[in-house]
Amino acid sequence: MSGPRPFANALEMLRSAGLRPTRQRLALARLLFDKADRHVTAEQLHGEAVSAAVPVSLATVYNTLHQFIGAGLLREVVVNPGRSYFDTNVSDHHHFFLEESGRLVDIPGDRIDVSNVPLPPAGTAIRRVDVIIRVERDED
Protein backbone atom coordinates (compact mmCIF):
# COMPACT_ATOMS: atom_id res chain seq x y z
CA MET A 1 0.00 0.00 0.00
CA SER A 2 2.43 2.64 1.13
CA GLY A 3 5.85 2.13 -0.45
CA PRO A 4 8.52 0.21 1.44
CA ARG A 5 10.11 2.24 4.18
CA PRO A 6 13.56 3.34 3.11
CA PHE A 7 15.08 2.36 6.47
CA ALA A 8 14.68 -0.95 8.18
CA ASN A 9 14.95 0.69 11.56
CA ALA A 10 15.48 3.97 13.31
CA LEU A 11 19.11 3.20 14.09
CA GLU A 12 20.05 2.82 10.46
CA MET A 13 18.10 5.93 9.55
CA LEU A 14 19.94 8.08 12.08
CA ARG A 15 23.31 6.66 11.02
CA SER A 16 22.60 7.51 7.38
CA ALA A 17 21.70 11.03 8.41
CA GLY A 18 24.94 11.42 10.34
CA LEU A 19 23.09 11.83 13.64
CA ARG A 20 24.18 10.04 16.79
CA PRO A 21 21.55 7.50 17.75
CA THR A 22 20.67 8.85 21.16
CA ARG A 23 17.83 7.56 23.29
CA GLN A 24 15.77 10.66 22.47
CA ARG A 25 16.33 10.64 18.73
CA LEU A 26 15.66 6.92 18.46
CA ALA A 27 12.41 7.27 20.36
CA LEU A 28 11.25 10.29 18.34
CA ALA A 29 12.17 8.60 15.06
CA ARG A 30 10.10 5.55 16.02
CA LEU A 31 7.13 7.67 17.05
CA LEU A 32 7.33 9.55 13.77
CA PHE A 33 8.07 6.82 11.26
CA ASP A 34 6.87 3.50 12.67
CA LYS A 35 3.32 4.10 11.60
CA ALA A 36 1.66 5.55 8.50
CA ASP A 37 2.58 9.03 7.29
CA ARG A 38 1.54 11.72 9.71
CA HIS A 39 1.33 15.44 10.32
CA VAL A 40 2.24 16.35 13.87
CA THR A 41 2.99 19.49 15.80
CA ALA A 42 5.98 19.69 18.11
CA GLU A 43 3.71 19.78 21.16
CA GLN A 44 1.84 16.68 19.99
CA LEU A 45 5.02 14.71 19.44
CA HIS A 46 6.38 15.79 22.81
CA GLY A 47 3.13 14.68 24.42
CA GLU A 48 3.40 11.26 22.76
CA ALA A 49 6.97 10.86 23.92
CA VAL A 50 6.08 11.76 27.49
CA SER A 51 3.13 9.34 27.38
CA ALA A 52 5.48 6.62 26.16
CA ALA A 53 7.72 7.32 29.18
CA VAL A 54 10.51 8.66 27.00
CA PRO A 55 12.24 11.43 28.91
CA VAL A 56 12.72 14.23 26.40
CA SER A 57 12.44 17.98 26.63
CA LEU A 58 10.45 20.16 24.27
CA ALA A 59 13.71 21.85 23.21
CA THR A 60 15.07 18.49 22.09
CA VAL A 61 11.88 17.76 20.19
CA TYR A 62 12.34 21.02 18.25
CA ASN A 63 16.06 20.35 17.75
CA THR A 64 15.34 16.87 16.47
CA LEU A 65 12.51 17.91 14.16
CA HIS A 66 14.76 20.50 12.55
CA GLN A 67 17.60 18.03 12.20
CA PHE A 68 15.24 15.57 10.54
CA ILE A 69 14.11 18.29 8.16
CA GLY A 70 17.76 19.07 7.37
CA ALA A 71 18.31 15.37 6.62
CA GLY A 72 15.30 15.27 4.28
CA LEU A 73 13.37 12.92 6.57
CA LEU A 74 10.62 15.44 7.32
CA ARG A 75 9.12 18.57 5.87
CA GLU A 76 7.37 21.51 7.46
CA VAL A 77 3.87 22.53 6.41
CA VAL A 78 2.59 26.01 7.21
CA VAL A 79 -1.16 26.50 6.97
CA ASN A 80 -1.98 28.54 10.03
CA PRO A 81 -0.31 31.48 11.67
CA GLY A 82 1.47 30.58 14.87
CA ARG A 83 1.92 26.81 14.55
CA SER A 84 3.84 24.46 12.27
CA TYR A 85 3.08 20.92 11.21
CA PHE A 86 5.83 18.40 10.60
CA ASP A 87 5.07 15.99 7.79
CA THR A 88 6.62 12.52 7.61
CA ASN A 89 5.63 12.28 3.96
CA VAL A 90 8.48 13.84 2.02
CA SER A 91 7.30 12.80 -1.41
CA ASP A 92 5.87 15.35 -3.82
CA HIS A 93 2.35 16.01 -2.57
CA HIS A 94 -0.19 18.62 -1.47
CA HIS A 95 -2.79 19.04 1.26
CA PHE A 96 -6.39 19.42 2.22
CA PHE A 97 -6.62 21.46 5.41
CA LEU A 98 -9.69 20.97 7.61
CA GLU A 99 -9.85 24.22 9.49
CA GLU A 100 -12.32 23.14 12.17
CA SER A 101 -10.26 20.16 13.31
CA GLY A 102 -6.80 21.35 12.31
CA ARG A 103 -6.22 18.12 10.35
CA LEU A 104 -4.11 17.83 7.21
CA VAL A 105 -4.91 15.21 4.56
CA ASP A 106 -2.38 14.33 1.86
CA ILE A 107 -3.09 14.71 -1.83
CA PRO A 108 -0.60 12.70 -3.91
CA GLY A 109 1.46 14.89 -6.23
CA ASP A 110 0.19 13.09 -9.31
CA ARG A 111 -3.44 13.62 -8.29
CA ILE A 112 -3.26 17.36 -8.90
CA ASP A 113 -1.99 19.46 -11.77
CA VAL A 114 -0.56 22.92 -11.35
CA SER A 115 0.07 24.17 -14.85
CA ASN A 116 0.53 27.36 -16.78
CA VAL A 117 2.68 28.76 -13.96
CA PRO A 118 4.21 32.13 -14.89
CA LEU A 119 7.95 32.66 -14.77
CA PRO A 120 9.22 33.43 -11.28
CA PRO A 121 10.45 36.98 -10.55
CA ALA A 122 13.77 37.86 -12.21
CA GLY A 123 16.77 36.37 -10.44
CA THR A 124 14.75 33.69 -8.66
CA ALA A 125 14.12 30.01 -9.19
CA ILE A 126 11.25 27.83 -7.96
CA ARG A 127 12.12 25.81 -4.89
CA ARG A 128 8.75 24.29 -4.11
CA VAL A 129 5.08 24.59 -4.99
CA ASP A 130 2.59 24.19 -2.15
CA VAL A 131 -1.11 23.73 -2.82
CA ILE A 132 -3.33 24.05 0.25
CA ILE A 133 -7.00 23.31 -0.28
CA ARG A 134 -8.90 24.74 2.67
CA VAL A 135 -12.11 22.88 3.34
CA GLU A 136 -14.92 23.42 5.81
CA ARG A 137 -17.70 21.28 7.17
CA ASP A 138 -20.33 20.88 4.49
CA GLU A 139 -23.88 22.13 5.16
CA ASP A 140 -25.91 18.95 4.74
Partner DNA sequence: TCAATAGATTAGACAAATTCTAAAGAAGCG
Partner DNA sequence: CGCTTCTTTAGAATTTGTCTAATCTATTGA
**Contact string (CB under 7 A) for DNA, positions 19-58, x = contact:** xxxxxxx---------------xxx-----------xxxx
Residue 29 buriedness (CB in 10 A; 0-12 / 13-18 / 19+): buried
**Half-sphere exposure (CA, 13 Å, Cβ side) for 137?**
5
Distance CA 39, CA 76 (A): 9
The strand pairing partners of 103, in sequence order, are 98
Nearer to a second copy, 59 or 112 (CB): 112
Q: Which of 31, 64, 74, 89 binds Zn ion (CB under 5 A)?
A: 89
The region of 3-11, 18-26, 62-70, 123-131 touching a second copy under the rule CB under 8 A is 123-131
Give the binding site for DNA (CB under 7 A). Answer: 19-25, 41-43, 55-60, 62-64, 66, 81-84
